[in-house]
Amino acid sequence: MAATIKDIAKLAGVSPGTVSRVLANKVGFFSEHTGEKVRAAAAELGYQKNTAAAELVTQQSNVVAAIVNSTKTNFASPIIEGIQAEAHRHDLNVIILYAGDDDSEQQRRALTTVIERPVRSILLLSVDLAAENLTLLQNSRIPFCFLSISFDEIQVPYITSDDWQVGYQATQTLLKLGHQNIGLAGVDSDFHTGRQRVAGYRQAMQEAGITVQPEWIQLGNYSYTAGQAAMRAYGANSGLTAIIGASDMAAVGVLNTARSLGYRVPTDLSILAIDGTEICELVQPALSSISQNFYEMGVAGVQQLCAPGELPQKITPIKLVERDSLQRNG
Amino acid sequence: MAATIKDIAKLAGVSPGTVSRVLANKVGFFSEHTGEKVRAAAAELGYQKNTAAAELVTQQSNVVAAIVNSTKTNFASPIIEGIQAEAHRHDLNVIILYAGDDDSEQQRRALTTVIERPVRSILLLSVDLAAENLTLLQNSRIPFCFLSISFDEIQVPYITSDDWQVGYQATQTLLKLGHQNIGLAGVDSDFHTGRQRVAGYRQAMQEAGITVQPEWIQLGNYSYTAGQAAMRAYGANSGLTAIIGASDMAAVGVLNTARSLGYRVPTDLSILAIDGTEICELVQPALSSISQNFYEMGVAGVQQLCAPGELPQKITPIKLVERDSLQRNG
DNA sequence: GCACTTTACACAAACGTTTGCAATGCCTTT
DNA sequence: AAAGGCATTGCAAACGTTTGTGTAAAGTGC
C-alpha cells in the first residue's frame, strides 16, 4: 500500500536505482534536474523509506538496543539518557526492551526480538543473564556490553562502578564521622556486585579494628521492601548508629521503617544511600549518598561499542554527595 | 557471516523452501525424516532467523512500539508493564523509544525510526505530538493510540482517565473534609489534560459556593520543581488548608517546600496527589492520592490496537487511595 | 574530426525470507 | 493397467532496497 521506490521511479520517469541514489543524496550521481523530479515525486506520494529492506542489503543497522532488567529500577533512567545522548552524537537510534526481573523466559524473549532483527549492538542494563541466554547472546555475534553490573566468573565486556570501592568508601565515610556500629542493609550476596560491596565494607571495618557482627549485614534484593525488612530485623534497639542502604530504594525503606521504630534521622541514626538517584532528594531528610555516574555509564557504553578495540571493562567514578541524613557520632 | 536458511538447506540436502517450512513448523508439508535433518542442521549452524527479511515478504510484523515522552515521568513504568503483559498474551513484542520532553526534533527521530521499520502499531505514552509529527504519524498508516493524554481539537484514538473527574473528585475529597481554601499546584493549562483538571476543580469549588482566588491555581509542568515553585508562591501565610498536587511529583515538591516553610503536614496543611504512583508511599507522610490505573491503560492500549473497530476513545477508572496526608479541617 | 574522459542514467543482482505452483513418486481405486 | 489422489519437495517469484557494472550521450583536447 505504502509508496515504494519503484512507484517514485515510475512517476518521475527514472529507474529505481536512480531514485535510491537521489534519496540517499549521493552527490555526483545524478543531475540537478532529475534530483528535483525525484524529490517532487517522493513528496507527492508521501514516501516513507523501508529501512528494514535497506538494512537487509547493506547488512548493517544503526539501531542500538538497550535491554533493561525491570521497569522498576530507578537508575535506568539516567543511563538511558546517557545512551540516547551519545547515540545521537553517533547518529544511532536507540530502542529499549524490558527483560523483567530475573525472569529467564522474559529475558529470552527480549533477547531474541533484538537478535532476530538487524541491530548494531546491544547494551544490557543491570541484567543478570541466565547462562543459556548469555550463550544465545554470544552466538549472535552482535557486539554487546553490560552496564551497571560486573562479573568475575565470566569474561564479558562491562562498564560499571567499582563496587568494592562503593562499599569501602561508604563505610569509610561513616567511620570518619565517628560511627562504629554500622549496618549494611538490603545487599544481595548472590552476584558479584553485592559481594564486592560487602567485601569493601568488611575491609573498611577491619582496617578500623571493628568486628562486624553478623546481623549488621542484612541481605536483600536492593528493593524498598528489602530496606524495610532489614530495618525491622535490626529492631528498635539495634545499637547501630549508622546504616548503609545498599541502594537508594533500600535506604528509603530503612529510613521510613527506622522512623516508625522511633529513631530520629539523622540524630539517632545516620543513613547513607548507595546510587544517588533522584529519590534521595525527594525524601526528608534528603539522603546523603555514594553516587554513581549513571549517565556517564550510558555514554561510555555506546562509545565502547562504537570504538571496538578499546578495553572491554571500564570503571566509572563514584563520589560522595552530602545531603541531610548523616551526623557525627558522639 | 551468520548462518542463513540456504546454509541449512545445503547442509541438510534440501531446498531453502523446505527449510523454511520445517522451521515455521508448517505441519503436513514435510516428512518426519526431513524435519529431523533440517532441525539438526539448524542447531549445528547455530541458526538465528532474520525476522526483518521475513517481515519484508510477509508484509507484517509482530512488534508494537511504545513511544514515551521522557525518561523522567514515573507513571510510564506501570503503563509499560501493562503493555508488556497484554502484548505477551497476544504474542507480540514490545520496543520502547524515548521521545524527550516536548522536543519536536527528538519526537521526529523516535517516530521515524519506528515508522521506517515494520512495526504493527504504535502506542504514544503521554506524548504531546507536534503538529508536523502527528501528520507524519497519520501518513504512515500504522495504527496508533495515545495513552494517558487526551485531546479536544483533534480526532485521534486515546485511552486515559477522565481528567475532569480527576480534578473534580480531588476537590470534592478535600471539600468533604471541610476544607474551603484549596490550592491546585503545578498544573499546566496549555494542554487538554491540564485544562480539564482545572475545570473539574473549578466546578467542584463553584458547587460548594467557594470563589476560587486566582493565586490558588499555580501553573506548572507537573514536575517536582513546579510543585516547589507553587508552594513558594503560596508562601508561609497562604491561608490554604489543603493543596492538590497536579501530579505525584508536584505533590512531593509541595510537601517538602511546605515543610521548610513551617507547615506541618497534614496538621496544618493537607496534601492530595494526583496519579498515585509508587512515590506516594516513599515519602512521609505517605501521600493520599487520586490514583489512575496506569497498568490498565497499557492493557487497554494493546487491546484496542488488536481489536480495531472498537471505539477509539476510552476512559479508565480512577479512585481515591487514602494514605496519611489528609486531615479534616477544623 | 578523432580519441578520450566525463556525466548521467539504466540494468540487474543481491540481501534472507515466504509461499504459490509445479513436479515427482507412491498409493488407491476401478 | 490406467487414472486419480495425496504426500513430499523443489523452483522461482516476490518483498523494498543498494550498488557494481554497462552504456549512451555529451564534453574535452589535440
Q: Which three-class secondary structure string do you get for A285-304?
A: CCCEEEEECHHHHHHHHHHH
Are residues A287 and A302 located together in one domain of the fold? Answer: no
Q: Distance from A88 to chain B by nearest Cα, in Å?
A: 10
Rounded to an integer, the average pLDDT of B176-202 is: 96
Are residues B202 and B305 located together in one domain of the fold? Answer: no
Distance measured from the CA of protein residue B17 to the C1' of nucleotide D10, in angstroms: 8
* Buried/exposed B156-171: b ≥16 CB within 10 Å, e otherwise: bbbbbbbbbbbbbbbb
Are residues A129 and A175 located together in one domain of the fold? Answer: no
Residue of B nearest to A68 (CA): B96
Give, for B52, the enclosing helix (H) or strand (E).
helix B51-58
Q: Distance from B74 to chain A by nearest Cα, in Å?
A: 9
pLDDT of A26 over the 70 cut: yes
pLDDT for A31: 94
**Within-domain flag for B323:** no
Of B2, B56, B252, the CB nearest to A141: B2
Rounded to an integer, the average pLDDT of A164-168 is: 98
Q: What does the DSSP 8-state code read for residue A213?
A: P
Give, for B56, the enclosing helix (H) or strand (E).
helix B51-58
Rounded to an integer, the average pLDDT of B90-101 is: 93
pLDDT of B1 over the 70 cut: no
Q: What backbone phi and psi angles, to 5 degrees, belong to B289?
A: -150, 155
Distance measured from the CA of protein residue A116 to the C1' of nucleotide D10, in angstroms: 27
pLDDT of A160 over the 80 cut: yes
Q: What backbone phi and psi angles, to 5 degrees, belong to A151?
A: -140, 155
Are residues B263 and B228 located together in one domain of the fold? Answer: yes
Q: Which residues of B touch A49 (CB under 8 A)?
A: 116
Are residues B273 and B311 located together in one domain of the fold? Answer: no
Percent over 70 (pLDDT), chain B: 98
Q: Which residues of A touch B1 (CB under 8 A)?
A: 141
Are residues B244 and B145 located together in one domain of the fold? Answer: no
Are residues B68 and B185 located together in one domain of the fold? Answer: no
**Within-domain flag for B306:** yes
Confidence of residue B100 (pLDDT cuts 50, 70, 90): confident
pLDDT for A6: 96
CATH number at residue A167: 3.40.50.2300
pLDDT for A71: 60
**Within-domain flag for A66:** yes
Confidence of residue B49 (pLDDT cuts 50, 70, 90): very high
pLDDT for A108: 95
* Residue B31, CB, strand C, below 7 Å: no
Are B113 and A97 in contact (CB < 8 Å)?
Answer: no
pLDDT of B239 over the 70 cut: yes
Mutation target for A interface from B95, B133, B141, B287: give the one with most A CBs within 10 A.
B95
**Within-domain flag for A229:** yes
Are residues B221 and B154 located together in one domain of the fold? Answer: no
pLDDT of B75 over the 90 cut: no
Interface contacts (A, B; CB < 8 Å):
104
Confidence of residue B304 (pLDDT cuts 50, 70, 90): very high
A55-59, A85-89, A314-318, B305-309 — which is least confidently predicted? B305-309
Are residues B308 and B228 located together in one domain of the fold? Answer: no
Are residues B26 and B90 located together in one domain of the fold? Answer: no
pLDDT for B71: 60
pLDDT for B168: 98
pLDDT for B311: 63
pLDDT for B209: 98
Q: Distance from B211 to chain A by nearest Cα, in Å?
A: 33
pLDDT for B153: 84
Separation of alpha carbons B142 and A125, rounded Å:
30
Mutation target for A interface from B48, B73, B259: give the one with most A CBs within 10 A.
B48
Q: Which residues of A touch B48 (CB under 8 A)?
A: 115-116, 139-140
pLDDT for A310: 62
* DSSP-derived pairing of the beta strands A144-147 and A288-292: unpaired
Are A96 and B93 in contact (CB < 8 Å)?
Answer: no
Rounded alpha-carbon distances, angstroms, from residue B56 to A56, B119, B181, B212: 9, 11, 61, 59
Q: Looking at the 3D structure of chain A, how many domains does it have? A: 3
Q: What backbone phi and psi angles, to 5 degrees, belong to A219?
A: -75, 160
pLDDT of B9 over the 90 cut: yes
Task: Decide: helix, strand or coil at residue B172.
Answer: helix
**Within-domain flag for A324:** no
Q: Distance from B34 to chain A by nearest Cα, in Å?
A: 24
- List pLDDT tens digits, range B50-72: 999 999 999 999 999 999 987 66
Separation of alpha carbons A176 and A180, rounded Å:
9
Q: What is the mean pLDDT of chain B?
A: 94
Rounded to an integer, the average pLDDT of B25-51 is: 95
Percent over 70 (pLDDT), chain A: 98
Are residues A114 and A26 located together in one domain of the fold? Answer: no
pLDDT of A308 over the 80 cut: no
Are residues A100 and A242 located together in one domain of the fold? Answer: no
pLDDT for B72: 66
**Within-domain flag for B119:** yes
pLDDT for B310: 62
**Within-domain flag for A308:** yes
Separation of alpha carbons B23 and B49, rounded Å:
9
Give the structural domain span for B204: 163-292
Of B1, B52, B259, the CB nearest to A117: B52
pLDDT of A131 over the 80 cut: yes
**Within-domain flag for B245:** yes
